[in-house]
Amino acid sequence: MASEYTSSVFKNLLETNLIRHPYFKKGHLYDNARIEAFHSILKKELIYPNRFKSKFELVARISRYIHRYNHERMHTYESSSAM
C-alpha cells in the first residue's frame, strides 16, 4: 500500500531535510486516501502508457499533468468534504 512512504530510507531522507512526514498515521487509514487516489490516477493516465527519454522529461510532464489535474480536469467527486 504505502510502504514506500514508511521505508527507513524515505524516513531518513525526510529527517535529513527537516521535513515532517505528512502521509501516514497509524490507525488513521483514510488520512492519505486522496493522495493515494491521485497517485493511482497519475500512474494510469501518465506513467504507465508512456516512455520518457529522460528524468527531465518525466519531471516536466508530471508538472504539466499536476497543473492540468488541479486546474483543468473534471474531477469525479462533488467536493473535498465528501471524505
Distance separating alpha carbons of residues 45 and 53, to the nearest angstrom: 18
Question: Residue 47 in 3-state DSSP?
Answer: helix
DSSP state of 5: G
Q: pLDDT tens-digit profile of 41-53? A: 999 999 999 999 9
Nearby residues of 59 by Cβ (< 8 Å), 6 or more positions away: none
Which residues of the chain register pLDDT less than 70?
1-6, 21-32, 74-83
The pLDDT of residue 81 is 44
Phi, psi angles (nearest 5°) of residue 12? -65, -40
Distance separating alpha carbons of residues 38 and 46, to the nearest angstrom: 11
